[in-house]
Structure 1
Amino acid sequence: MLRKLKISHRTLLFFALVAVLLAALGLFSLMQMSAIRAAGSEIDSDWMPSQAAADDMALNLAHVRIESMRQLAFQDAETLRKSDEQIAAAMTVLSQLMARYEEHISNPDEARVFGVVKNVYASYPQALQDRQRVLAANPSEDRAAAVNARVSELGHQLEQALLELRSFNEEGAHHAVEAATSVYRNAQRVIASVILVALVSTVALALLLTASIVRPMRRAVAVSNQIAKGDLTHEVHVNGNDEATELLTSLSEMQANLRSIIGQINDSAHVLTASAEEMSAVMLDSTEGLQRQNDQIEQAATAVNEMTCAVEEVASNAVSTSEASRASSESAQQGRMQLEDAIASIQALAADVVSASARAGELADQTHNITRVLDVIRAVAEQTNLLALNAAIEAARAGDAGRGFAVVADEVRALAKRTGESTREIESMLGSIQQGTGLTVEALQQGASRAQTTLDKAEAAGVALVRIAETVAGINERNLVIASASEEQAQVAREIDRNLVSIRDLSVQTSAGAQQTSVATQELSRLAVDLNGLVSRFRM
């Protein structure tokens, strides 16, 4: 079936199939990269800002509670004034953080958890204001204790709500990382399968294309070699509709023409030999014999004229065969040019795969940016830990009055520790994403390498077409040699004809002319033997 297509169309079809396979691989890789990018964007734009906001809210709440404990420990006017200012500033930041966090809520569960924080926080500012008014009026110990208990209870509830919010964000980030990892692993398996299928298909198509071109070319070379050796007995079988079929058809016609022409030359040579022998016998007779010899010379001249026409026809057929060979060479050149166009298309496809690899590298750079954000969060946690340690030292100096303050400082340190641990876990998860992205880049680079391998095979096919053109050129040169030899034979035949005419004129004059005719007849016999020797080189 493939032999019914031209080599150019067949090559274009095969490389179009390879291009479709590579394009499908590239498109699927881009889709999987987009899915991985979406998972990373979810972590970067949703869970990380929410986690950072929750940590900042917890830090500001801790700062408010520390300042509240400071007011209880040091009740002088200056300390109360500075603590009120710190509490007001912290509450302002806390309100801003809650408003910013609310903008990043992405699902009903997160809204429910944040609603608990928001509900507890709604009562906290008013409780702080009531406490400040009571402390400013120098209240009794019981009244101050009741107000402080109310503030402490709300602060503890708000802290627990914030801890639950942080836990929710940590769990959400963990699920997002697992989803990204799952997408990457699925993409890795499917891309590997598609690459394997594309590789096997490309090899199969390459073998099929090579076989459809090389086999008929080998048949054409074998036929040409047989003709070059003088063997015209083998029949040339022709099937298909491609350039190789046209070449085999031309070779078959050339073989048939050569067989016919050489047969005619052989017949003429036998006739010429017989005529020369007869003329040699007649030259021993008398004038009657000379007359008879003159008649035989007339017959020989006619035969030589026929032979001259036959040789000229051989030369003409050889020229026609040369032109057909030249046309075949031009067709091979056109096939090579179309193969070069296909090679250019594969080069463009390889460039697209390299571009996809660069985009995967950009995804890796984005994960590095997330790592820098985590470094900032870890630095904040370490600073919080130092602040809590300083607060614990101040509480120790305060003695019994600073015990509550020490408890809060320990809780802040524990919170900072958990923040640092969460940051390290997220860094580990991002490391996994970066590793997966690197593997994706390697897979794309391998696709580009395989595209280059396909390109090398296409170039090798181009070299094969060049060799085919060179072989056809060799056939053309042989045909020119045949035409030149046939022209020389025609010249010899015309020379023989002129000699026969001279012999005929001399035979009617004198005996000397008869002797001269005998010599010319012997020369004619020698030429006939030589011609038979040339014809015997061909097997028919």
Structure 2
Amino acid sequence: MTPRTRSIAQITVLFLILILSIILLFANFAYLNTQSNYDKQYIGHAGELRVLSQRIAKNATEAATGKALAFKLLSDARNDFERRWGYLRQGDKSTGLPPAPPSVRDEMESVRRDWENLRKNTDIILASEQTVLSLHQVAATLAETVPQLQVEYEKVVEILLQSGAPANQVAVAQRQLLLAERILGSVNTVLAGDDSAAQAADAFGRDAGRFGQVLEGMLNGNATIQVTRVEDADARARLAEIAELFQFVAGSVDEILETSPELFRVREAAGNIFSLSQTLLDEASHLANGFENLAGGRTLDTVGGYALGLLALASIILIGLVMVRTTNRQLRETAEKNERNQQAIMRLLDEIEELADGDLTVTVSVTEDFTGAIADSINYSVDQLRDLVATINHSAMQVAAAVQDTQNTARQLAKASEHQAAQISEASEAVGDMVESIDRVSAHAYESAKVAERSVAIANKGNEVVHNTINGMDNIREQIQDTAKRIKRLGESSQEIGDIVSLIDDIADQTNILALNAAIQASLAGEAGRGFAVVADEVQRLAERSSSATRQIEALVRTIQADTNEAVISMEQTTAEVVRGARLAQDAGVALAEIEGVSQNLADLIHSISDAAQLQTSSAGQISHTMAVIQQITAQTSAGSGATADSIRHLARMASEMRRSVSGFTLPPPAEPK
């Protein structure tokens, strides 16, 4: 076995001992920590049991006196005690606490017996919570009601004394005051729960019954108990109020008598809890002491932990000593190996000295030393470098040729870009002129649209005037026709007048003939007929005058008829002219409507032309802007072409420099083709 192998074996054994010691040490510490934590929980639960035993006793006493909050506190304390007692008996899964160890079995058994007795009494009190609270509520109400009864009965006594009531009635009322006092005292004694509580409950029932019987007798009379009816109205009103107040007392009698035994059991259970709590306190204290003694007995485990720690420390020291000895031996071997490597490195440096001067024909010798791999790598790198330099030379020549071609192309592209920029500038100017022309067309179209709109408005007004003229002519035609009808009726009336005048003329002729006959007869009569002859002459003259007037009227009627006929003819001609004028006006209205439609269409077309001109103006503006952008792009392209030509020239210079940079390498002559 070599020294190196022996050292490794020793270190391995010591490491195993160290690891085992550390594992045992941590296991011991973990065990001690866990047990210490368990001991703290055991002691904490036992201490809480001591506190809870006294809390249960206090809350039980207060619950028996009718305090509602005490029942909740008593229930919480009981449940908390039961929970912690369960942790000690069965363990706590949430914290990993196991059941109490067998070493405290006697203390656990003592606590169990006392706790079971105390819990039974606690359950009795909690089960009677409603009864106790109800009974104390009744007692509290009675404590308020009974003094009111006493006050009212004192007023009844005063009224009876003032009204001169019989002495026996006054005495009965005064005895009621004493009964009320005894009732209240009996209730308080029942609630106190002492030895006389049972007798107090019976006395309460008897006194309440007697009080109610006497109250009824004072209201209605009762010969059996020798109580007469009270007649005074004020006293009876007070007695009625007392009767209302006493209804609660009477209703509470049965409840108090029925629940008082349960209250007595609660009082007894509270007393038992008070007695057991002290015993339970002592037993819980013994249990806590047992857990503390259990924690103090773990000193041996601590000593074992210290021993394991010392063993681990000794293992570390031994490992250090072995490693120091091994390290010193390795240092000597390393120094000898470094000397051999130094000589191999110097040989390698001598061989690659020519390679540093750029001679790629050098081949480094490969030996068995560690520099052999380096020499092999150098030979491979030299081969790769030869290929790389040859490739660079070839690529540099190709790049130079390509650069020359690209430079010529860039010059042509720059010239084409300049020519394109000039053409685009001319096109931009033409587009600008076109935009100005389109703007003028748009302005003229806008003015034409306004003129067309005014033409439409004028044609519309003319159409309205023609319609109004037609309506006026229709009205004139109707009026002329009506006037012609009236003139015709006037001609017809003139014809009738002519007929009447003819009749009058006939009558005048006949009258003239009769007057002539009368004159002849009067002349034949001589003197006797002279007066009649005068009358006949007057009648004849009247007939002649009537005939003359009739002829004048007839001539006038014929004139009127002739004028009427001429007027009718003139009216008919006027009506025909009016109808013809209305027809012409209608034709003018139709023509104006057509003119209005044509003007509207013309206005719409001009609007369309104006909109199209504006759209073309906008499009031409966009085209002009686009041409400007294209001109800028062309200018940028021309500048880029110049920059590209400069870059190509720079690339040509770089290719030349690259050829010069690799010209210092010496390459082996190319192999001759076979």
TM-score when normalising by structure 2? 0.25
**Bigger radius of gyration among the two:** 2
**Higher normalized contact order (CA 8 Å, seq sep 6+, divided by chain length):** 1
